[in-house]
């Protein structure tokens, strides 16, 4: 009978130690890899301070003048922005494409485009035809169609109830006050409007947010500077919403405002020049203790008629003419 040697006695334990050592090493490496991945992920995420700096850079860049289709636009800070006019919507044609802020446009999320507000901005849009109110984040430029003051995403148009008709009479405002109601008030003349001697009358409505409505089948034409296309109905993305609140609104009328002047004689001269275009009126309004005389053509009840009238007024030389709702 052969006795085991000393080497034989220690051969098995040594092998076990090697296996255990390799296992511990692999476990340590795995933990180290996880730790490094977490650390890399944390360092790749911008801090709150960096996010604020990046947002401010985007905002400052959005205030630079730009030109679209030969028209020069001058974005500016306007904390008292409050305007009535016509809204359109855009969808599939721009779905998945970058917006002016670099975000990706999703027609099934609430967003909007505006020509001159700083980006991003948050506005309250009120459909003056049905009283629906929606808070919207503006992250894009547009609409580059004369006679439209804001372009909403398809989802926003659904919530405001004008997806099928394509256009709605709206009020758009920044920093709304809870004390406001649906009483019409005189228009405010901004600095930019004083330079261009035009101003838009604005109404006042109370804030009310809505829940997402049910699916709305059918198609609608997207109104944009590019040719209109038929957009197939997209599935509605349901999200959390505040309780449904809708406030009644009165009947509205459309006007084409050709200009606003502090001099009645200037307003009278413009009215005379537009006498062959349509029924032109001069209305007086007192704003911040100052007299303004607004020259308007109208009223009109149909958007198509207002669009044609706007083209006629623009052709007469009133480059700052706009469609307003009152």
pLDDT for 28 equals 56
pLDDT for 36 equals 60
pLDDT for 223 equals 41
Q: Give the whole-angstrom CA distance, residue 49 versus residue 263.
A: 50
- Map out the domains of the chain as residue ranges: 61-192+200-249, 253-326
Helix residue ranges per DSSP H, 236-320 = 264-273, 303-315
For the stretch 222-235, pLDDT in tens is 344 444 444 444 44
pLDDT for 92 equals 84
Dihedral sign for Cα 153, 159, 163, 165, please.
negative
For the stretch 174-194, pLDDT in tens is 876 544 544 444 445 434 445
pLDDT for 203 equals 39
Q: Give the whole-angstrom CA distance, residue 140 versus residue 98.
A: 9
Asked whether the beta carbons of 123 and 242 are under 8 A apart, the reply is no
Residue with tokens 């808070």: 135
Question: 274: helix, coil or strand?
Answer: coil
For the stretch 24-73, pLDDT in tens is 455 555 555 555 655 555 556 678 777 778 778 888 888 899 999 888 89
CATH says 253-326 is which class? alpha beta
pLDDT for 282 equals 92
Q: 288-309 burial string, b = 16+ CB within 10 Å, else e?
A: eeeebbbbbbbebeebeebbeb
Per-residue pLDDT of the chain (326 residues; tens, 9 = 90+): 544 444 444 444 554 444 445 454 555 555 555 556 555 555 566 787 777 787 788 888 888 999 998 888 999 988 889 999 999 999 888 998 999 999 999 999 999 999 999 999 999 999 999 999 999 999 999 999 889 999 999 999 999 999 999 999 999 998 765 445 444 444 454 344 455 443 333 334 344 455 555 444 433 333 444 444 444 444 444 443 443 357 667 788 999 999 999 999 999 999 999 988 888 999 998 887 888 999 999 999 899 999 999 999 999 888 889 999 98
pTM (global) more than 0.85: no
pLDDT for 205 equals 39
Start-to-end Cα distance in the chain: 115
Fold of 61-192+200-249: Barwin-like endoglucanases (2.40.40)
| Sheet of 322-325, strand order | 280-287, 290-300, 254-261, 322-325
């Amino acid at each position: 009978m052969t006795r085991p040697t000393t080497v034989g006695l220690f051969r098995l334990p040594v092998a076990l130690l090697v296996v255990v050592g390799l296992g511990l090493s692999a476990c340590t490496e795995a933990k180290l890899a996880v730790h490094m991945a977490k650390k890399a992920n944390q360092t790749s995420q911008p801090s709150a301070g960096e996010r604020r700096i990046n947002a401010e850079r985007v905002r400052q860049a959005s205030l630079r003048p730009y030109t679209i289709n030969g028209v020069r636009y001058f974005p500016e800070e306007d904390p008292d922005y409050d305007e009535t006019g016509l809204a359109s919507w855009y969808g599939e044609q721009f779905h998945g494409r970058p917006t002016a802020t670099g975000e990706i446009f999703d027609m099934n999320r609430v967003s909007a485009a505006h020509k001159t507000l700083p980006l991003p901005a948050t506005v309250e849009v009120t459909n003056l035809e049905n009283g629906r109110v929606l808070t919207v984040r503006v992250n894009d430029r547009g609409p580059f169609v004369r006679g439209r003051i804001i372009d909403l995403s398809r989802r926003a148009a659904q919530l405001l109830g004008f997806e099928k008709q394509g256009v709605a009479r709206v009020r758009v405002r920044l920093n709304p006050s809870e004390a406001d109601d649906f009483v019409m008030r005189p228009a405010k003349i901004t600095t930019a409007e004083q330079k261009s001697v035009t101003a838009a009358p604005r109404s006042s409505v109370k804030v009310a947010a809505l829940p997402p409505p049910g699916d709305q089948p059918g198609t609608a034409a997207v109104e944009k500077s590019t040719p209109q296309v038929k957009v197939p109905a997209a599935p509605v993305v349901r999200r959390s919403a505040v309780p449904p609140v809708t406030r009644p609104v009165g009947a509205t009328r459309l006007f084409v405002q050709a200009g606003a002047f502090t001099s009645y004689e200037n307003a009278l001269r413009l009215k005379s020049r537009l006498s062959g275009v349509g029924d032109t009126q001069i209305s007086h309004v007192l704003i911040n203790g100052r007299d303004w005389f607004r020259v308007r053509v109208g009223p009109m009840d149909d958007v198509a008629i207002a669009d044609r009238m706007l083209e006629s007024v623009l052709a007469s030389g009133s480059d700052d003419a706009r469609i307003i709702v009152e």
